[in-house]
Structure 1
């Protein structure tokens, strides 16, 4: 193992020239995405990264970082969505990595895996960042050594389109602009189903959002489909086992952020839908048996609910101003979402074991649009505390992500009086955060948040003291360096006497100047979030979404 001296342990991305290793340098097999230019009859086609011009020549490209599309509206403009470190990469077989800064902690044994979009084919039309095929980027850690691997989640959609060599399933988030587009897309899907080309019952999800570990299994998740079971091999490779329908108990879709009660082993989840009932809550017992659905009839409109939380007794849901709206597609307004600025945001609290919506209580929280929830707990005075980033302008969540700004807040819901209060914890725009998982649903003190001044590129990490209600540690990446979710890993998850912040914050960080990606490990206790180790990765890791650290003990269960 190669490491630098202690004097350089906190220097990040200082090299001027780095020769990148490509997948072709290994002897292992891998699948490379294939992209072709699509001929346009009368409209010019812009290359990614090129400025529009009055006359352009359409060329055929086989580089997966070059994708062309016809509709370049801002929210689906490929010049933003699929260029630079947003561009897709090839699969990477398990490859040994160099620790080029510090040393990997001996206690860090397991695999950090991060999910994200990586389209395998050229989109035939507009493309939103959220629509790419799911790719998992894993770094397996053992004894101070690291093995990196990138693999697609082999979803039904992925396998179908890989065999066909072209996209078959339209992009529902960005692909329809008017009734004609929607009608054509529907007819194409139905015709292919009738001809036996596709099976509608298999779902068309891309499994690109998050990962979850429950029932001694690892899953890649997306909220528009069911989970896909995943396995990480001893050699560090990633295998897709298949789509998981909970023994036929769930037929449609579920949240990408299910919650597991570590004490009881119960699993809690929900699904939201653009038609009534808009929200349905459900749970599974310790044996994996699903309890009856609880439709939330008191959800007044088709709110887009991305995340929720559980406490010892309750489940907590945000009812924000962002709603699903299929009429947008019919009226040529693009994405099937709308922001209802006149709507009063609410927080819904329902007993975990509720059997009907009659047990749901709603609390108005003016100005609060929370889409990710960091933690929730119950206080002794019968109040509920919610830690969550507030999206200050909700229409920017999908429409103009580069304009997103978040306010990390602590909400207090008084269950006796019905009153709600908000406290701003930081003036920095913070999102994609985590806590020590042992404190999920319980009172905790620290949160680790990614700085999002350049959403969805994150420029650093901040540690928040939830008791003092302020920032206590901060690390900003060097110029040109951007990371993703700040994920906390406990030093010893099995030791109840360890301090809550005794552990590490990990993230993939990409240097846009050197074109190099690294895995960075920071000391969560350090007042500067000191860098403990940096691992040079053999391939680029595109910006993505949520990750998970799976311990060695849990990997053995897969």
Structure 2
């Protein structure tokens, strides 16, 4: 492994505490000096819980919101009631060049700068925008992907030792990015994704069949410019996306100004398009922003969309503004395809993010939603985090929260189906937790009894920093 010089991260709020990177790749099995299991692991699951996130490898020049830093995947593999852990950087071409030159060669997405000649001579891309493959990790069509929405996906080997760019056999061309937050339809196994460009139509839905073959492109006409659209949702026969007034501005970013423009006097527009194609239907709602959906479904001519609501886009290029820690709540939006009516109701008042549901129900009627939750006040902290896991009963509107304790950081909770049951509540939830006294562990909870806390904990000797999206790779083992 390359020796990495110590970094000065003191001026970057989102590189403090459990947002700070880890600089070593580790491998642990159960036993002395390795993983310690408390409680009883589910014995009927085989697969891997993986989470991606930004992990800076070299001294950064600029870092505001945690979207920069090379992707690092933290994985716990389950087989025959035993567990194995490893963390690995996503070894993109950008990562390899920086490792060769032993320094950061590209700027941040908030402050890009021209690429120098030494970097280009070493095989680096001349584009000032880097693809760190740091946002999501997903298994579809037999391929394990590391995803970043402003670039091509990377295919990872099951043991995370290799990463190769993948353009879906020429579907993706230079300058296009495939979203980092696709959805896999619980009914068909199709991957519902999108590409975005800076030229009309700006946004195109891309549908891949369950084997990973491209099936259909659906351009979304009606956008006047490219917007920050991180997520979208399947609702039965339809696909829904939010077109909030948050617009990237590359020229401003190159000058060190805010990389996004928030035009709060504009309404948030919502598109609905049939999965078979055709022109979108547009709706308008009072201005809001959202990173993530929980789930959605169709009932007759009405679509129901559960998502995490924010007042505005939580990104600024200035350090310590606090805008990124603004309130976020679970909401349910209802669209009437016949009348055009839009209603929006708050599901709960708890601060939450990274909402999920049982992926087998994706796009279909469901009952339980889950999210990372915060009950602590973050006003005195240089950043924000989540100290709990919350479960929402979407039928009753009630919620149940498990608090991991003061100072704890908990990540996105992922629903792992119980292979012996079709019931959502019979599954498990998994999330990484960093506790100031207990240490670092993978928490495993009962999806139907979150309020009782973890049924098992897998303690990890090395730290797992805060990160982004996680998924369960059903059936995946170290050998494939």
**Alignment TM-score > 0.5, same fold:** yes
- After TM superposition, list the pairs within 5 Å mapping 1:330-345 onto structure 2: 332=256, 334-345=257-268
2:29 to 55, 78, 96: 96
1:174 maps to 2:93: no
CA distance in 2, matches of 1:85, 1:530: 22
Q: Which moved more, 1:291-300 or 1:428-437?
A: 291-300
CA distance in 1, matches of 2:21, 2:120: 32
Q: Residue 339 and residue 167 in structure 1: after superposition, are their counterparts in 2 closer, same or farther (change >3 A)?
A: same
Residue 238 of structure 1 corresponds to 160
Q: Residue 295 and residue 498 in structure 1: after superposition, are their counterparts in 2 closer, same or farther (change >3 A)?
A: closer
1:457 CA displacement: 1.6
2:81 to 139, 144, 149: 144
1:463 CA displacement: 0.8
- Greater strand proportion: 2
1:216 maps to 2:157: no
CA distance in 2, matches of 1:225, 1:307: 15
Q: Residue 274 and residue 480 in structure 1: after superposition, are their counterparts in 2 closer, same or farther (change >3 A)?
A: same
CA distance in 2, matches of 1:284, 1:486: 26
Residue 491 of structure 1 corresponds to 418
CA distance in 1, matches of 2:147, 2:323: 22
- Greater helix proportion: 1
Secondary structure of 1:501's aligned partner: helix
Q: Residue 33 and residue 487 in structure 1: after superposition, are their counterparts in 2 closer, same or farther (change >3 A)?
A: farther
Gapped regions of structure 1 (runs ≥ 5): 1-30, 36-61, 70-76, 177-184
1:164 maps to 2:101: yes
1:292 CA displacement: 5.7
Residue 440 of structure 1 corresponds to 362
Secondary structure of 2:157's aligned partner: strand
2:404 to 442, 462, 477: 477
- Between Structure 1 and Structure 2, how many residues are aligned? 465
2:451 to 509, 528, 553: 528
1:397 CA displacement: 7.7
CA distance in 1, matches of 2:123, 2:241: 39
1:281 to 193, 205, 208: 205
Q: Which moved more, 1:119-128 or 1:308-317?
A: 119-128
Residue 540 of structure 1 corresponds to 463
Q: Is the 1:389–1:406 Cα contact (8 Å) retained in structure 2? A: yes
Secondary structure of 1:433's aligned partner: strand
1:396 CA displacement: 4.9
Q: Residue 194 and residue 169 in structure 1: after superposition, are their counterparts in 2 closer, same or farther (change >3 A)?
A: closer
Q: Which moved more, 1:410-419 or 1:239-248?
A: 239-248
Residue 362 of structure 1 corresponds to 282
TM-score (norm 1): 0.78
CA distance in 2, matches of 1:106, 1:292: 39
CA distance in 2, matches of 1:286, 1:451: 32
Residue 428 of structure 2 corresponds to 504
1:151 CA displacement: 0.4
Q: Residue 126 and residue 448 in structure 1: after superposition, are their counterparts in 2 closer, same or farther (change >3 A)?
A: closer
1:90 CA displacement: 2.7
CA distance in 2, matches of 1:229, 1:326: 28
Secondary structure of 1:323's aligned partner: strand
Residue 11 of structure 1 corresponds to none
Q: Is the 1:103–1:533 Cα contact (8 Å) retained in structure 2? A: yes
Q: Residue 159 and residue 556 in structure 1: after superposition, are their counterparts in 2 closer, same or farther (change >3 A)?
A: closer
2:8 to 57, 62, 67: 67
Secondary structure of 1:519's aligned partner: strand
1:34 maps to 2:17: no
- After TM superposition, list the pairs within 5 Å mapping 1:36-55 onto structure 2: none
Residue 313 of structure 2 corresponds to 394
1:159-186, Cα deviation, whole Å (9 max, x unpaired): 1110111111222x2225xxxxxxxx33
CA distance in 1, matches of 2:23, 2:287: 42
Q: Is the 1:401–1:456 Cα contact (8 Å) retained in structure 2? A: no
1:275-307, Cα deviation, whole Å (9 max, x unpaired): 443222222345644356433230123320000
Residue 294 of structure 1 corresponds to 218
1:367 CA displacement: 3.6
1:463-513, Cα deviation, whole Å (9 max, x unpaired): 101111221x21011112111111111122xx5x53221111111100135
User: What is the alpha-carbon root mean square deviation over aligned residues?
Assistant: 2.5
1:390 CA displacement: 0.4
Q: Residue 488 and residue 265 in structure 1: after superposition, are their counterparts in 2 closer, same or farther (change >3 A)?
A: closer
Q: Is the 1:338–1:395 Cα contact (8 Å) retained in structure 2? A: no
Q: Residue 352 and residue 201 in structure 1: after superposition, are their counterparts in 2 closer, same or farther (change >3 A)?
A: farther
1:109-138, Cα deviation, whole Å (9 max, x unpaired): 321111111111111344542101000001
1:199 CA displacement: 4.1
Q: Compare CA radii of gyration and give the structure with the larger one.
A: 1
Q: Residue 397 and residue 499 in structure 1: after superposition, are their counterparts in 2 closer, same or farther (change >3 A)?
A: farther
1:192-218, Cα deviation, whole Å (9 max, x unpaired): 687573245998311110111111111
Secondary structure of 2:178's aligned partner: coil
1:338-391, Cα deviation, whole Å (9 max, x unpaired): 211101012100111215xxx1011112143222111111013x1000000101
CA distance in 2, matches of 1:387, 1:326: 31
CA distance in 2, matches of 1:202, 1:367: 32
1:316 maps to 2:235: no
Q: Is the 2:77–2:477 Cα contact (8 Å) retained in structure 1? A: no
1:113 maps to 2:50: yes
CA distance in 1, matches of 2:3, 2:231: 31
Secondary structure of 1:540's aligned partner: coil
Q: Residue 300 and residue 390 in structure 1: after superposition, are their counterparts in 2 closer, same or farther (change >3 A)?
A: same
1:255 maps to 2:162: no
Q: Is the 1:211–1:548 Cα contact (8 Å) retained in structure 2? A: yes
1:468 to 396, 400, 406: 396
Gapped regions of structure 2 (runs ≥ 5): none
1:318 CA displacement: 0.5
Q: Is the 2:240–2:272 Cα contact (8 Å) retained in structure 1? A: yes
